[in-house]
Structure 1
Amino acid sequence: MAQDDHVAFNTIYNRYWVEVLNLAVHKIGDIMEAENIIQDIFVSLWKRRHSLIITNALENFLYVSVKYRVIKVLNRQRTERLYNETDGLTVDILDDSTQQYLSFEELRQRLEMLIGKLPEQSRLIYRMNKEENMSYKAIAEELNITERSVEAHLARAKKTLKTALGAFLTTFLL
């Protein structure tokens, strides 16, 4: 695809579009909005084909893309709903729920950054377990390693994240 191969892109599209569309519909509950999300993802994938570097499975990249696009859409819908509920009156955007969302978003970004700093194998295993809800056994079979190894990688990853997030939360909450 990086060499402008339309056939490669079409193959990727045909292989994954139904799967990621179903995920988006499940998360957002609106088929039209889900179709827009998936279309945007594939358009972005094509536009960024020369500079995009995908280190894990393409399927994982697409799932994460859907997840973040759904969050954006839900946030936009919430903002529109708040605006409509007030009939165009000015809304105090920094109400408590918005502040909580912003705090959560900062925490989520910090977690994502910390996950990105994990060793590649630990990062992959962590994402497979937490984002794809794969069992230790399924991960072990897919990566051709022992369940004990999966367990050890996850334990180290969780310890690293807990330590780093603990320090972040202490400074964040004070």
Structure 2
Amino acid sequence: MKPEFSSDEELIAALRNSDEHALQLLLKRYHVTLSKFAFLILKRRDLAQEASTNVFVNIWCRRRSLLIKTSLRSYLYSAVSNQALKLLSRQPKHEPISLEEVSPEELADTRRTDTELLFKEFEAQIEDVLSRMPDQRRLIFRMSKIDGMLYKEIADTLNISEWTVQNHMVQANRQIAEALPEFRANWLNRDTEDR
């Protein structure tokens, strides 16, 4: 019977000793979760899978000298975040889809209300502003606003300071507020109260 490692430290030690079962267990525990996290950044399943797989390949290649100063979970999330940002930087920039490009069938759908259309337009405008942000700022904004993560969680995941997270959020909110002054209301300003 193969051992089930009771702690991450035991798992890391086994990896350093080239234990393939430890790698399989690591994949089983984290691959799906890391792929989902990478998908939040990349918005493409194939690239998310690639980012996650690259992390495990790198771990295996560097297993003998593997040094993890944080928790294994934080290390993996930070590594997949870096891989995703690297893949994202290699992707060509796409123009956002405008409301005019919505198909006539979608517009004719009687279940779609004016509010839904306005929200879709707002969403497209936000995506346009986000696409012009630096990769890390965009990622931090998504982690905070879309995933609902606290600044401390974001800082731990990305292995940066909370101050850096806060600074990026202030800059992102300012950038959105300047680009979309009509949507400046509570949605953007609730950060400082919640965090």
| TM-score range for the pair, normalised by the shorter chain length | 0.3 to 0.5
Larger Rg: 2
Question: TM (normalized to structure 2)?
Answer: 0.43
Question: TM (normalized to structure 1)?
Answer: 0.47
Larger relative contact order (CA 8 Å, sep ≥ 6)? 2
